Structure 1
Amino acid sequence: MIKSFIMLFLTFSIGSVWAAEVTVKDVLGRDVTFDAPAQRVIVGFYPEDYMAIGTEAAFDKVVGMSKYIWQARTSNWEMYVEHRPSLDDIPEIGRVDTQTFSVEKVISLNPDVVMLADWQYKGLATDIERLESAGIKIVVVDYNAQTLERHIKSTELIGVITGQEERANQIATDYKNTADMISKRLAEANLPEPKVYTEFGASGVQELGFTFGKNMWGAISTMAGGDNISAPFVEWWGKLNPEQVIASNPDVIVITGYETGKGSDSMIMGQGVDRAEAHKRLEGYKNRLGWSSINAVKNNRLYAAYHGACRTIFDAAMIEFYAKAMYPDLFADLDPEQSYLDFYKKYLPVTPKGTFTLAL
Structure 2
Amino acid sequence: MKTRHTAAGTALFATALVLTACSGAGDGDDAAGTTENAATESGTTAATSATRAAADGQITITDVEGRTVTFDSLPERIILGEGRGIFATAILDREDPLDKVVAMGSDLRAAAPAYFDNLVAAYPKAGEVPEIGNIAKGDVTVENLISHDPDALVITADHYDAAKTTGMLDKLDAAGITYIVTDFRQHPMTNTTVSVTALGELFGRKDAAESFNEEWNGVVERVKERVADVDRKPSTFLWRAAGLKDCCNTVAKANLGEMISLAGGDNLADHIIDTESGDITAEKLIDEQPEIIIATGGTWAKQNDKPQAVPHVDLGYGVSPDTSRDTLKGLLDTPGLNELNAPGEGRFYGVWHQFYDSPFNYIALEQFGKWIHPDKFSDIDPVADLRDANSRYLPFTADGTFFIGVN
**TM-score (structure 2 length as normaliser):** 0.78
Identify the residue that residue 199 of structure 2 maps to in structure 1: 158
Aligned pair partner of 1:244 in 284, 289, 301? 284
Q: Does 1:98 align with 2:137?
A: yes
Which amino acid in 2 is paired with 1:256? T
Conserved 8 A contact 1:291-1:297: no
Which amino acid in 2 is paired with 1:154? S
Q: Secondary structure at the match of 2:96?
A: helix
Conserved 8 A contact 2:235-2:266: yes
Give how far 1:220 is off. 1.4
Conserved 8 A contact 2:109-2:116: yes
- Number of paired residues? 342
Identify the residue that residue 237 of structure 2 maps to in structure 1: 197
Which structure 1 segments of 5+ residues have no match? Answer: 1-16
Identify the residue that residue 295 of structure 2 maps to in structure 1: 255
Q: Does the C-alpha gap of structure 1 residues 93 and 73 become closer, same or farther in structure 2, counting only changes over 3 Å?
A: same
C-alpha distance in 2 between matches for 1:90 and 1:20: 30
Q: Deviations over 1:279-318 (max 9, x none)?
A: 1122234454443443312312111111012221111110
Q: Secondary structure at the match of 1:230?
A: helix
C-alpha distance in 2 between matches for 1:107 and 1:303: 44
Conserved 8 A contact 2:91-2:208: no
Q: Does 1:148 align with 2:185?
A: no
C-alpha distance in 1 between matches for 2:345 and 2:120: 42
C-alpha distance in 2 between matches for 1:201 and 1:31: 35
Which amino acid in 2 is paired with 1:302? F
Q: Does 1:339 align with 2:385?
A: yes
Aligned pair partner of 2:63 in 18, 23, 26? 26
Give how far 1:201 is off. 4.3
Q: Secondary structure at the match of 1:139?
A: strand
C-alpha distance in 2 between matches for 1:233 and 1:35: 48
Give how far 1:58 is off. 4.9
Q: Secondary structure at the match of 1:198?
A: strand
Aligned pair partner of 2:397 in 324, 338, 351? 351
Which amino acid in 1 is paired with 2:161? K
C-alpha distance in 2 between matches for 1:313 and 1:204: 23
Q: Does 1:74 align with 2:119?
A: no
Give how far 1:70 is off. 4.4
Conserved 8 A contact 1:202-1:267: yes
Give how far 1:94 is off. 1.3
Q: Secondary structure at the match of 2:324?
A: helix
Which amino acid in 2 is paired with 1:311? D
Which structure 2 segments of 5+ residues have no match? Answer: 1-53, 302-307
Aligned pair partner of 2:266 in 205, 222, 227? 227
C-alpha distance in 1 between matches for 2:81 and 2:311: 32
Q: CA RMSD in A?
A: 2.3
The worse-fitting range, judged by mean Cα deviation, of 96-105 and 142-151 is: 142-151
Identify the residue that residue 362 of structure 2 maps to in structure 1: 316
Which amino acid in 1 is paired with 2:135? V
Conserved 8 A contact 1:42-1:62: yes
Conserved 8 A contact 1:271-1:352: yes
Which amino acid in 2 is paired with 1:198? L
C-alpha distance in 1 between matches for 2:261 and 2:196: 22
Q: Secondary structure at the match of 2:58?
A: strand
Q: Does 1:41 align with 2:81?
A: no
Q: Secondary structure at the match of 2:396?
A: coil
Q: Deviations over 1:60-104 (max 9, x none)?
A: 311111031344211110110111111122121111121111211
Map residues 58-137 of structure 1 onto 2, 5 A cutoff: 58-125=97-164, 126-137=167-178
C-alpha distance in 2 between matches for 1:56 and 1:38: 19
Identify the residue that residue 9 of structure 1 maps to in structure 2: none
The worse-fitting range, judged by mean Cα deviation, of 217-226 and 120-129 is: 120-129
Q: Deviations over 1:306-333 (max 9, x none)?
A: 1012221111110011100011111111
C-alpha distance in 1 between matches for 2:385 and 2:74: 30
Which amino acid in 2 is paired with 1:146? H
The worse-fitting range, judged by mean Cα deviation, of 38-47 and 66-75 is: 66-75
Conserved 8 A contact 1:44-1:115: yes
**TM-score (structure 1 length as normaliser):** 0.88
Q: Secondary structure at the match of 1:52?
A: helix
Identify the residue that residue 297 of structure 1 maps to in structure 2: 343
Conserved 8 A contact 1:39-1:61: yes
The worse-fitting range, judged by mean Cα deviation, of 122-131 and 173-182 is: 122-131
